[in-house]
Amino acid sequence: SMEFFNTYARDAIAWTRTKLSPDDVSWLRDLPIRTDLEGIATLVDDLMIFTHSEDLRVAPVNIHFVLDGVLDLLVLDPLASRVSVERRFDPSIPELLADADRLTQVFLNLARNALQAMEGRGGVLTITTRMSLDHHLFSAGSDHTSTLVIEVQDDGVGIAEEDLSRV
């Protein structure tokens, strides 16, 4: 279960800290696996939103930093071994107000779905960011605001015709 994994990840980090001296642990701080374990534990916490109501943690977010973090985690997935990643990021996109952990959860789910769609045959996972002038958001007392578009595209088999109505 998610709670078991979350406890396991946090216990692994805590155990490492108790078994090593402070000098031994200093090199561990920058180790990617430690960061990934803590990130995964945070993601599991965030997945628990479906069973426990929690507040959003809204702050300025660089969407490309979030997407890069997701792609860094994805590389660890065995399904990614035959998949290449193409980033098509628009560098002019400003920070947005959002919950970075929730965005990570959403994009990790989308990217994992893409890997599963390409399972066994490989392919290309393309993530594109751009601003859209086609759809505008309006807020009280201000002009319209362009919207951010994030596309996750894969070379997978696609959704079966009979399942399209459920998507």
Residue 27: partners with Cβ closer than 8 Å, 6 or more residues away: none
Q: CA–CA separation, 167 vs 164, rounded Å?
A: 5
Cα 83 from Cα 73, distance rounded (Å): 14
Indicate if the pLDDT at residue 95 is higher than 70: yes
Q: Which of 149, 139, 154 is nearest to 63 (CA)?
A: 149
Is a pLDDT exceeding 80 seen at residue 135? no
Rounded average pLDDT over 126-150: 77
Name the band, by pLDDT with cuts 50, 70 and 90, for residue 83: very high
pLDDT at residue 109 greater than cutoff 50: yes
Give the pLDDT confidence score for residue 19 in this predicted structure: 55
Q: Is the dihedral of CA 81, 126, 97, 167 positive or negative?
A: negative
- Least Cα distance to 113 among 164, 149, 78, 154 occurs for 154
Whether 132 contacts 91, CB under 8 Å: no
Among residues 128, 56, 64, 130, which one has the least CA distance to residue 95? 64
78: confidence class by pLDDT, cuts 50, 70, 90 = confident
pTM higher than 0.75: no
pLDDT band at residue 121 under the 50/70/90 scheme: confident
So what's the pLDDT on residue 22? 54
Determine the angle formed by the axes of helices 2-19 and 32-47, rounding to 10 degrees.
Answer: 150
Region 19-33 average pLDDT: 51
Which pLDDT belongs to residue 4?
A: 45
- Decide if pLDDT at 1 tops 50: no
Confidence of residue 28 (pLDDT cuts 50, 70, 90): very low
